[in-house]
Amino acid sequence: MPVSAHHRRNNYGRAILAMVAAVGLFSFMDAGMKWLAPHYPPMQVAALRGLASAPLVFLWAIVTAPPVSLVRIRWSMHLLRGVLSIFMLATFAYALKRLPMADAYTLFFVAPLLITALSAPLLGEKVGAMRWIAIGVGLIGVIVAMRPTGEGWMSLGSLAAIGSALGYSLSAITVRTLGKTDSTQSMVLWMTVMVGLGAGALAWPEWKPIANEHWPAIAVVGVAGAIAQYAVTIAFKLGEASAIAPFEYTALAWGVLLDWLLWQTLPDRYVFIGAGIIVASGIYLIRHERVHAEAEHP
C-alpha cells in the first residue's frame, strides 16, 4: 500500500524533531566531557563516555533486537570502528579541553566534507568536480575558523578537532560497509563497549580517581549520549539522510549557548565566518547527494 503524503510529512516532522533532540543531547554530552577534560587525561574521558553509556545502550539493544543479531557480526570491522571511535573521542576530548565548544564544533563540521573525499579512494565512489569544489570551499572555511592571524592557527586544540573529524569520517565509512550486513543495534552496542573497554585499558596506567563532584557530569555524559544515540537512529529511520543530516549543524547554536552559559565565552568573528563557509559547503554536498541519488533511482 503506498504511503500517503500526510504520513510522509508526519514522519519527516518527527525525524527532524528527533535529529534536533539528538544534536541537543549530544551537545550536553560534549559539555559534560568538556567539564571533565581539565581534570582527567583525554583517553580517560573517552573511556568514561563509553562506560557511562554502555548499560543504557545494552538494555536498548537487547530489547529491540534479537540476541543472535548482536553476536553474529563482522568482528574485524567492528574492531576497526572501535579503534577509530576511541581515537575520535580522545582527540575531541583534548580539543574540548583547549577550545570553546563552538570552536571545536566548527572545525569538526569538516567531517561531511572528509567523508565525501575519502569515499573515492576507500569505497570507489565517484566524486565529481562540483563535489571537489565544495570540499575545497569547506577547507577554506576551516582555515578561516582556525584564525590565520591569531593564536588559533595550527594550535594543538584545532588540530585535535580536525583529527577527531577525520576519525569520525573513517568510522562513518565503516558504517556504510557494516550497515549492509549488521544491525544498527550491534553497531551502537559494540562501538560503545569497545570505546569503554579499549580506551579504559589505554588510560589505565594514568587513570585518575574520580572526584565526587564529577559524578553528575559523568551521569550527564552517559545518559545524554545513550538517549541521543537512540534519537539519531530514529531520525534516520523516519527520514531521508540527505534531508535530516543538515540539522546536525544546529550543534553550533548549542555550542554557542552552552559556552556562554557555562564558561562565559563567545566565538570570535573568524569562527562565525568559517562556520558559515563550512556549513554552506556541507549542506551543498548533502543536497547534491540527494539530487544525484534521485536521478539514478527516479
Q: Are 267 and 106 in contact (CB under 8 A)?
A: yes
Reported as a pLDDT band with limits 50, 70 and 90, residue 1 is: very low
169/254 Cα distance (integer angstroms): 22
Question: Which residue, among 234, 287, 239, has the nearest Cα to 22 in the 3D structure?
Answer: 234
Q: Cα 63 vs. chain centroid, distance in angstroms?
A: 25
**What 3-state class would DSSP assign to 54?**
helix
Domain ranges of the chain: 5-296
98 has a pLDDT exceeding 80:
yes
Neighbours of 83 (CB within 10 A): 16
251-287 pLDDT per residue, tens: 989 999 999 999 999 888 888 898 999 889 888 877 7
CA–CA distances in Å: residue 62 to residues 18, 32, 59: 22, 27, 5
Reported as a pLDDT band with limits 50, 70 and 90, residue 230 is: confident
Q: For the residues 188-208, what does the mean pLDDT come to?
A: 96
Neighbours of 148 (CB within 10 A): 11
Question: Which residue, among 172, 182, 160, 75, has the nearest Cα to 119 in the 3D structure?
Answer: 172
Q: For the residues 118-123, what does the mean pLDDT come to?
A: 82
Q: For the residues 33-42, what does the mean pLDDT come to?
A: 96
Q: Residue for cell digits 593564536?
A: 151
163-187 pLDDT per residue, tens: 999 999 999 888 888 888 998 899 9
- Which range of 32-46, 116-130, 166-180, 274-288 scores highest in mean pLDDT? It is 32-46
213 has a pLDDT exceeding 90:
yes
Please state, rounded to an integer, the average pLDDT across all residues of the chain. 87
285/292 Cα distance (integer angstroms): 10
Q: CB-hemisphere CA count at 13 Å for 57?
A: 28
Residues 6+ apart with CB under 8 A from 93: 33, 36, 37, 42, 45, 46, 49
The reported pLDDT for the residue numbered 271 is 87
12/17 Cα distance (integer angstroms): 9
Output the furthest CA–CA distance in the chain (Å, rounded).
60
87-96 pLDDT per residue, tens: 999 999 999 9
Question: Which residue, among 181, 150, 122, 162, has the nearest Cα to 269 in the 3D structure?
Answer: 150
Q: What angle is formed at CA 184 by the lines to CA 182 and CA 186, rounded to 5 degrees?
A: 65
